[in-house]
Amino acid sequence: MEFVVTTVDQTFKIGEQIGALVNSGDIICLIGDLGTGKTHLAKGIAKGLGIEDHVTSPTFTIVNEYTGRLKLYHFDVYRVNDPDEIEAIGFDEYIFSDAVSIIEWANYIEELIPPNNLTITMEKVTKLGYNYRKINMNYEDKRYDYIKEIKI
Amino acid sequence: MKILSIDSATAAATCAILNDDNVLGEITFNYKKQHSLILMPIIDELFNNTGINISDIDAFVASKGPGSFTGLRIGLSTIKGLSQGTGKPFVTVSTLDSLANNLAYTDGIICPILDALRDNVYTALYTFDNYELNRTSDYINISIDELINILKNKNCNISFVGDGVAKFKEKLIANLPAVHFAPSHLNLAKASSLGELGLKLLSKGTYDDLYASVPIYLRKPQAEREYEQKMRLNKNE
């Protein structure tokens, strides 16, 4: 699945739809450069999960926890130097739980990411314009088929 | 000697008060990990319902794991806090020891298995002889297949206990002869069992150091993890 968006609001709304559809144990990897909208998408997912808390980027806390329709673990592993580091905080206990996990910069810890994940890649499409973003969603596990319901 | 014992290394949040002869009280919840919410209320309730005051406690016992990293931190920091605040000593005991102790007097090998995720288990091997629990291996983190390989040629009864049983029971039955499983009332970490082992250490004068004591965060050796990653990459090629 691929979407092209031109506003933060569109990114947020895609997230919101994902959040309304996700199931317990889902693992969502967000991959993309700074400023592509990963955190905005995560905020949308949180909203879609019925989370009212203000969602901020966990760049410094590594993981933030929220409770909505389901529990949400929001990771940002940008500052993690080595997969070992994040494994040592008990990463597995988070991602193999009943919660939904969002992992920004998941490509930094590729070896720890289980294959049954939803990978969302976000990139700027500068040739179309400054605000254009391409959002690509990939998965192998049928559990994420709900992605097909997303519309912009 | 009166001791307070807690174990939050697994899904069980369990707390007990013991003296040399008896378990005076024990509260265990083995449902959803919510240790940070319920551990202190459990301790409080134990004191209230036994009428024992924290100043009556001579020493503390905590689990040193292996197990849930978060759970271990909650348990050990709680006990360290109580120990420092009261000025009374504490000792740590492995949850694997305490699970094996649940099956005291069992013939053959006692093998506690805790789910370490990704098809791995935290485990160690024990025998119970001469009225004593004997650990015959290191505490290890290995895949269930490796464990089966180790146990395959043992010519004796093997009894499994721990939260790994639910996940791997069928596989163990299919691959090993003479396997047995703890009944559900013994198949969980109990602070009373941990406390009993801790009490033995304390009465011999064995204590942990408040500043040096850390849990066993049992992870696979770096070399093994790198090898697995390499194998995974090869498979993807």
Reduced to 3 states, what is the DSSP secondary structure of residue A67? strand
Place of tokens 């499983």: B181
pLDDT on residue B221: 62
Decide the pairing of beta strands B109-115 and B120-123: antiparallel
- The candidate with the shortest Cα–Cα distance to B164, out of B222, B124, B134, B136, is B124
Is pLDDT at A91 greater than 90 in this prediction?
A: yes
B3-94+189-203 placed in CATH 3.90.1150.10: no
Alpha carbons B219 and B142: distance in angstroms, whole number = 9
- Are the CB atoms for B9 and B162 separated by under 8 Å? no
Alpha carbons A123 and B29: distance in angstroms, whole number = 47
pLDDT exceeding 70 applies to what percent of chain A? 100
pLDDT on residue B167: 96
Q: Which residues contact B38 (CB under 8 A, 6 or more apart)?
A: B13, B29
- The candidate with the shortest Cα–Cα distance to B154, out of B108, B113, B122, B123, is B108
Length of chain A: 152
pLDDT on residue B54: 96
Summarize the confidence of residues A54-76 as an average pLDDT: 94
- The candidate with the shortest Cα–Cα distance to B58, out of B10, B36, B91, B28, is B91
Low-confidence ranges of chain B (pLDDT < 50): none
- Are the CB atoms for A101 and A95 separated by under 8 Å? yes
B68 chain-A contacts, CB cut-off 8 A: 90, 93
Decide the pairing of beta strands B3-7 and A27-32: unpaired
pTM, to two decimals? 0.88
CB contact under 8 A, B69 and A84: no
Full domain range(s) for residue A97: 2-149
Question: What CATH number belongs to B96-186?
Answer: 3.30.420.200
Alpha carbons B74 and B34: distance in angstroms, whole number = 10
Note which residues in 87-126 of chain A have CB less than 8 A from chain B.
Answer: 87-90, 92-93, 96, 111, 114
A35 and chain B in contact, CB less than 8 A: no
B232 chain-A contacts, CB cut-off 8 A: 111
pLDDT on residue B232: 67
Structure tokens at B229: 């990653």
What is the ipTM for the molecules in this complex?
0.79
- Are the CB atoms for A49 and A68 separated by under 8 Å? yes
Q: Among all residues of chain A, which has the CA nearest to that of B227?
A: A111
CB pairs under 8 A between A and B: 22
B229 and chain A in contact, CB less than 8 A: yes
Render pLDDT for A133-142 as a digit per residue (tens, 0 to 9).
999 999 999 9
- Are the CB atoms for B202 and B195 separated by under 8 Å? no
> How many domains would you assign to chain A?
1
Q: Among all residues of chain A, which has the CA nearest to that of B226?
A: A111
* Residue extent(s) of CATH 3.30.420.200 domains in chain B: 96-186
Chain B: closest CA distance from residue A90 (Å): 5
How many CB atoms sit inside 10 A of residue B183's CB?
A: 10
B118 and chain A in contact, CB less than 8 A: yes
pLDDT on residue B218: 85
pLDDT on residue A3: 95
The helix or strand, by DSSP H or E, that contains position A50, with its residue range, turns out to be none
* Among candidates B70, B229, B232 on the partner chain, residue whose Cβ is nearest the Cβ of A93: B70
CB contact under 8 A, B68 and A90: yes
Render pLDDT for A110-146 as a digit per residue (tens, 0 to 9).
989 999 999 999 999 999 999 999 999 999 999 999 9
Burial of A104 (0-12, 13-18, 19+ CB in 10 A): buried
Alpha helices in chain B (DSSP H): 35-50, 69-86, 95-102, 144-152, 164-175, 191-203, 222-236
- B33 against A63, higher pLDDT: A63
* Residue B109 identity: I
Chain B interface, mutation test: which of A86, A92, A110, most B Cβ atoms within 10 Å?
A92
Find the CATH number of the domain harbouring A116.
Answer: 3.40.50.300
CB contact under 8 A, A90 and B117: no
